Amino acid sequence: MTPQSLLQLTSQKCTTGCPILDRLLYGGIPCDSITEIVAESGSGKTQICLQLSLHAQLPVSHGGLAASSLYLHTEFPFPFRRLHQLCLSFRSSNAHHFPVNDNPCDRIFVQSVHTADHLLEIMSKTDPFIENSKNQVPVRLIVIDSIAALFRSDFDNTPVELKRRSSLFFKISSKLKALAKRFNLAVLVTNQVVDLVGPNEGINGLRIGNLVCLHTSGRRVCPALGLAWANCVNSRLFLSRNEEVIREENEKSNGQSCDFVKKKMRKLYVVFAPHLPESSCEFEITREGLFGVER
């Protein structure tokens, strides 16, 4: 095996729509793999999912998958307004790839999911759905936003229920992995966080999914769903958001002055991934989308 042949083994990636984030992720979100984004509420998980669903439609030569996507959402309502807003800026920067009057939102198939069993039922119908889509623009991206919402309240904290929960995790992930392999799909799943109380090494000394310690909004957190789910995903990304007080110099008519202003700092971390080193990058969310920031 030569370094060159190793490079050829790497899977196809779907661009995030931002060259800085793509560089961090060695091209974007990989196909034939499950990528998870973990973050607290309001961090930008849904923004990445929406942006990826649009950029998956770009030609392969431009980092996309030339594909449509299946967007399974478990939190309500689905952000249609935001999708249309992102779609407008996506269309204006990629107008040459799409015919006039074409609406990229039409190639995002949105489906609501209410329970874990409902998700399994939908996934049992996904094979023929993707198979049929090959005649049009094939589906090559599945988004589940969010997986944690399906497991929030339906399970008690008893051994029997925890076993049932883990068994559902493995059923869901094995179905997703089979779909990803069969159709060379990218799978993007979002997950919430829970507060981490206790020693730095993790819960009861157990490290969850190579997790040392994640921080957001000044709290120590860890991904929801625990160790069983951590073993179901191939890659884990973490989004943090914190407020930073920065000093701003101002030019005033009577000389120089400075103000202290609070600024939102968002960061994307690679927690674990078979093809990526641990790394991180700042990003911001604007009307046009989510973009990495280089300082």
Ligand X SMILES: Nc1ncnc2c1ncn2[C@@H]1O[C@H](COP(=O)(O)OP(=O)(O)OP(=O)(O)O)[C@@H](O)[C@H]1O
Which residue in the set 43, 57, 94, 216 belongs to the binding site for ligand X (CB under 6 A)? Answer: 43
Which residue in the set 42, 93, 174, 243 belongs to the binding site for ligand X (CB under 6 A)? Answer: 42
Residues that bind ligand X (rule: CB under 6 A) add up to a total of 14
Residue 44 binds ligand X, judged by CB under 6 A? yes
Strands (E), 11-63: 13-14, 29-30, 33-39
C-beta closer to ligand X: residue 82 or 163: 82
Which residue in the set 41, 93, 200, 210 belongs to the binding site for ligand X (CB under 6 A)? Answer: 41
Which residue in the set 39, 65, 123, 268 belongs to the binding site for ligand X (CB under 6 A)? Answer: 39
List the interface residues with ligand X, window 250-289 (CB under 6 A).
285-287
C-beta closer to ligand X: residue 287 or 295: 287
Query: 250 with 259: CB under 8 angstroms?
Result: yes
List the interface residues with ligand X, window 47-86 (CB under 6 A).
47, 75, 82, 85
CB of 61 to ligand X, least distance (A): 29
Residue 46 binds ligand X, judged by CB under 6 A? yes
Binding stretches for ligand X (CB under 6 A): 39, 41-47, 75, 82, 85, 285-287
